[in-house]
Amino acid sequence: MKAEPCTYVIFGATGNLSRIKLMPALYRLDAAGRLPEGTRIMAMGRRPWDQQKWRQEVQDMVQAKAKDDFDEAVFQRFSDRLYYHQGDISQADCYSGLAQTLADKAFSQNIAFYLSISPADFGPVMSMLSTNDLFNEESGWRRVIIEKPFGYDLESAQALQKRISHYLSEEQIYRIDHYLGKGMVQNVLVFRFANVMLEPLWNRNYIDHIQITHSESIGIDSRGDYYDGAGALRDMLQSHLLQLLTLVTMEPPVSMEAESLRDEKVKVLKSIRPISKEAVHAQAFRGQYAKGMVNNEKVKGYLDEANIPQSSTTETYASMKLYIDNWRWRGVPFYMRTGKRMAKAQSTISICFRHPPLQFFRDTNVQCMNPNWVLLGIQPEECIRIEMTVKEPGLEMSTRTSSLDASFRNQDEKAVDAYEDLLLDVLKGDRSLFLRFDEVEYAWRIVDPILQSWAVERDYIATYPAGSWGPEDSRLFDKESQSWRSSL
């Protein structure tokens, strides 16, 4: 698919996501020569800025990120693409002004609206874009990129979908989950389906259990307002971690084309055994960070962060156990956890294989053998590692664990940010790395019973010291031999 020139209209352009991710990613696409000629970027902002001030702001954002890679000449070219439309997005005149500006020949009539705004504003913004005829595709395509969270629970997600499908067809909607733009996440599919060695073992006959960990050492920064209403289950598990789970467990798709890929992911989500109200206690766990030490620095507890009520029981750590009731996975537990202010920042999928049926070395002085693990390091270390048992050199028949590594990126190869990939896909009209509504819907179905239970149990939440691996939640594990694996 070929990238076509377009006008990116970014709602929430002065916000955090735009500063840290969107603008730097667009700049890097330009630097790599991947932004088609004629591509323009229109920022929507309330602040009383003009074009010049906005371009200066973007230069600061890009420079902060690019550091030594910042290139004046590239930025000059990029800067010429930048425009600023000042207005209050809750007011109708903001949209009539926008429609007038975009009608100018300088702007490509392929328009992508990027909604990096509060979910509560998605519906009203779309309604006003539609009223001002901005979704009319007569002169070019119209696409809308919607940041997560898509809804607050199953019911609100369905209501939001109902509202937006009034204005847009499914082909125009790009629901973003930036994890799908990460190179190592895409590599999970390549690893599984471009190699035959492990695929025959990738099932309940050989795999004991699978763990997915996303831990962060940062806290909630200045996102208290959003985070306290969301919590770790909505913020990470319902979206990013369940997506990782689908990629690691799905059947081979018919092709890499968007619908085939999404069909297979949805099949996995549909096969997840629903968690009954009674099972929530056994299958899900939550915690909140208290003060502690992170990277040798004292940090405050969640309740002392800005904009957090003293009585908050919002979870900053969530873990859960799921089962996929299909032929491939029946009986295999999947353990997933995520948390802020944990010991280390790391995202890993860890696949633990069963022990061999017989330990031939039982009568020798061989130590108890470790099972084989396949470790998929998503970040910061991007790797595929297979742990095998080998003989220790020497006269004794003893063993140790040795790893086979398939590295993802060599030192001289540059990292590509997830948003670069996804923003380019929008220009190509490739939706394979974006979510179809039924994926979002089934993901909400999975976590909704937990959310409902936790919503009424508001008098107690376990705590964990900042800088630790989270609260003690070993009750989730099916067997004594299973426990969280934190090392890669």
- Is 16 a known ligand-binding residue? yes
Kindly tell me which of 235 and 305 has the beta carbon lying closer to ligand BG6. 235
Strand 173-175 and strand 333-339: pairing?
unpaired
**How many Å apart are CA 111 and CA 2, to the nearest integer?**
16
Integer Cα distance of 378 and 375 in angstroms: 9
Residue (216 or 473) nearer to ligand BG6, CB: 216
Q: How far apart are CA 448 and CA 234, in angstroms?
A: 9
Task: Kindly tell me which of 208 and 235 has the beta carbon lying closer to ligand BG6.
Answer: 235
Q: Give the distance, in angstroms, between the CA of residue 117 and the centroid of all CA atoms in the same chain.
A: 17
Peptide bond between residue 149 and the one before it cis (omega within 30 degrees of 0): yes
Nearer to ligand BG6, 417 or 473 (CB): 417
Least distance from ligand BG6 to the Cβ atom of residue 463, Å: 19
Q: Give the Cβ contact number of residue 99 at 10 Å.
A: 15
In the complex, what is the shortest distance from the CB of residue 338 to ligand BG6, in angstroms, rounded to a whole number?
A: 9
Shorter beta-carbon distance to ligand BG6: residue 57 or 177: 177
Determine contact, residues 247/179, Cβ cutoff 8 Å. no
- CA gap 325, 80 in Å, rounded: 54
- Least distance in Å: CB of 424 to ligand BG6? 17
Active site residue 240: yes
> Hunting for tokens 């092709």 — which residue is that?
255
235 has binding-site annotation: yes
20 is in an annotated binding site: no
Would the annotation count 12 as a binding residue?
yes
- Tell me how far, at minimum, the Cβ of 204 lies from ligand BG6, in Å: 30
* Active-site residue identified among 85, 209, 214, 240: 240
Footprint of ligand BG6 on 159-218 (CB under 6 A): 216
Minimal distance, residue 216 CB to ligand BG6, in Å: 6
**For ligand BG6, the closer CB: 100 or 295:** 295
Supply 73's token pair.
Answer: 């000449």
**Rounded Cα–Cα distance for residues 92 and 132 (Å):** 9
- Give the Cα separation of 372 and 208 in Å (integer): 10
CB of 434 to ligand BG6, least distance (A): 15
Burial 37-57, CB ≥16 within 10 A → b, else e: eebbbbbbbeeebeeeebbeb
Residue 216 vs 315, nearer CB to ligand BG6: 216
25 among the known binding-site residues?
no
User: Of the two residues 235 and 425, which places its CB atom closer to ligand BG6 in the complex?
Assistant: 235
> Is 143 known as a binding-site position?
no
Residues in 221-280 at the binding interface with ligand BG6, rule: CB under 6 A? 235
Q: Is 354 annotated as a binding residue?
A: no
53 annotated as belonging to a binding site for a ligand: no
Single out the residue of 463, 468, 467 nearest to residue 298, CA to CA: 467
* Smallest separation, CB 282 to ligand BG6 (Å): 27
Decide: is 473 part of the binding site for ligand BG6 (CB under 6 A).
no
Residue 394 φ/ψ, nearest 5 degrees? 125, 180
Nearest alpha-carbon partner for 177 in 443, 382, 414, 383? 443
| Cα distance between residue 330 and residue 212, in whole Å | 18
Alpha carbon distances (Å) from 476 to 53, 205, 316, 332, 481: 53, 22, 18, 13, 12
# residues contacting ligand BG6 (CB under 6 A): 2
Q: What is the signed CA dihedral for 134, 426, 256, 250, rounded to 10 degrees?
A: -90
In angstroms, give the least distance from the CB of 17 to ligand BG6.
9
77 is in an annotated binding site: no
CA distance 23 to 62: 7
- Residue 2 assigned as binding residue: no
Q: Which residue is nearest to ligand BG6 (CB)?
A: 235
Q: Which of 114, 48, 55 is nearest to 81 (CA)?
A: 55
| CA proximity to 317, closest of 182, 142, 464, 174 | 464
Is 140 exposed, middle or buried (CB count within 10 Å of its CB: 0-12, 13-18, 19+)?
middle
- The binding site consists of 12-19, 46, 88-89, 148, 178, 182, 216, 235, 340
- The binding site for substrate consists of 178, 182, 216, 235, 340
List residues near ligand BG6 by CB under 6 A. Answer: 216, 235
Which residues carry out catalysis? 240
